[in-house]
Amino acid sequence: MATQSDPAIFLQVMKYLEGKDEEVTVLSNPDLGKILPLADAGLHVYGDVPIAPYVSSVKLPEYTASGVPPIVTSNMISMGKLVRDNRCGVVIDYFDQKDIRVKMQQLVKEREAMKRNALKLAKDYFSVKVCAKKYLDIYDELVQKNKL
């Protein structure tokens, strides 16, 4: 596991899922740009806080641009919708061991398709060209409203 965050919570979850300490290697503050494309999946977990359903972070675009299928938690409704609709990763209920097991099996089985779908999502949704156009459309709309 490569992380720029404290891995303690991840390690607790691994114990809960009956993982063994020797199964986890933690790289703290790695150069993610160099190692992210080597990953099997990207874990994007958000705690149960009021903003969780609508949270938007740079993790999902980073994972997808690297062709890394994301694993997101079901409480992240907007991110989960993108992942489900684009079939580029899995959405898990992190309190349900059976759901996690099924989704991990799906991830292993469909990884190559998810990888292709992740790259497509990054290009079609998160690219500079696409985002710049969205911002220009917003600015144009604001200018038009202020002319009235």
- Is residue 1 one of the residues assigned to a domain? no
- Is residue 126 one of the residues assigned to a domain? yes
Residue 59's pLDDT is 85
Residue 85's pLDDT is 97
Residue 35's pLDDT is 83
- Is residue 83 one of the residues assigned to a domain? yes
- Is residue 141 one of the residues assigned to a domain? yes
Q: How many residues does the chain have?
A: 148
Q: Which two three-digit tokens encode residue 136?
A: 């220009």
Residue 8's pLDDT is 78
User: What's the total number of domains in the chain?
Assistant: 1
Residue 105's pLDDT is 95
- Is residue 25 one of the residues assigned to a domain? no
Residue 71, strand partner residues: 43, 90
Per-residue pLDDT of the chain (148 residues; tens, 9 = 90+): 676 667 777 777 777 766 665 666 677 677 777 888 888 888 887 777 777 777 777 888 989 999 999 999 999 999 999 999 999 999 999 788 899 999 999 999 999 999 999 999 999 988 888 888 988 999 999 898 887 5
Q: What is the CATH number of the domain that holds 76?
A: 3.40.50.2000
Contacts of 49 (CB under 8 A, 6+ apart): none
pLDDT in tens, 13-34: 777 766 665 666 677 677 777 8
Residue 67's pLDDT is 94
- Is residue 109 one of the residues assigned to a domain? yes
- Is residue 59 one of the residues assigned to a domain? yes
Range of the domain at 79: 31-147
Q: 46: closest CA among 79, 87, 85, 19? A: 79
- Is residue 78 one of the residues assigned to a domain? yes
